[in-house]
Amino acid sequence: MQNKTKTIATLASALFLGISLPAQRGGNKKLLTYINSLPKQTVDAKEKAELIKMRQEEKLARDVYQALYQKWKITAFTNIAKSEQNHMNLVKLMLDRYAIKDPLTSDKIGVFPDPTFTHLFQVLVLAGYQSPVMAELVGAFIEDLDIYDLDLAMARTDNRDINTVWQNLQRGSRNHMRAFYGLLKAQNILYPGIVLPLSRILSIINTPRETKPVDENGKAL
């Protein structure tokens, strides 16, 4: 157990201290119908920047999970990668809705217009290739970061449709955190929280999986 604790501390140091994080992570028919029913609102520079960043951040998650699945064949990675593709699609829906140019010009794994995301991809995959446990820790870290960044994104918009997308992306990220946390817990490993405090992580994993799409206030549709 001491070695496992040391491994977690090493990952935390490498990811939190050694990487420059990005500036501060399609739904079902009911969700899409609800989004399309909402009025369009003016998109300011901050909201546009968040959409562009989150389009890349969701691709980062998808790409890392695809790479880690190819390495370790852990089913959770391929399942969650598919969910991340849905998240990418939801952000693209907002980009198209407001005629904002998609920052992604390639769907190739590990390719991003922002070099920060390219660097993150390389470091996260390298860390995840060390062992299956390290891969699962990387997964938990990615969801940790996504939840935090989505907190910030929601604080920076008053657009109902954009907030609906952010709420549903964060709902998905909480479910993904539950999955990775559960895999680690089964091996007697506690994910400590690197971006979010541990108390927030525990509040997530101690509540049931969220299965229904939500509105801009986080209420089930």
Tens of pLDDT, residue by residue over 181-219, are: 999 999 999 999 999 999 999 999 999 999 999 999 999
Q: CA–CA separation, 63 vs 108, rounded Å?
A: 9
pLDDT higher than threshold 90 for residue 179:
yes
User: In the predicted model, what is the mean pLDDT of the chain?
Assistant: 91
Determine the length of the chain: 221
pLDDT higher than threshold 50 for residue 12:
no
pTM here? 0.88
pLDDT higher than threshold 50 for residue 10:
no
Q: Which residue has the higher pLDDT, 26 or 40?
A: 40
Long-range Cβ contact pairs of 199-205 (< 8 A, separation 24 or more): 200/147, 201/144, 201/177, 204/147, 204/174, 204/177, 204/178, 205/177, 205/178, 205/181
**Are residues 81 and 65 in contact, defined by beta-carbon separation less than 8 angstroms?**
yes
Show the tokens assigned to 21. 């994080």
Give the model's pLDDT for residue 30.
95
**Are residues 103 and 147 in contact, defined by beta-carbon separation less than 8 angstroms?**
no
* Mean pLDDT of all residues in 139-164: 98
Q: CA–CA separation, 197 vs 111, rounded Å?
A: 31
Nearest to 54 by CA among 46, 65, 44, 42: 46
Nearest to 173 by CA among 73, 54, 49, 68: 54
The answer regarding whether domain 2-205 maps to CATH 1.20.1260.10 reads yes
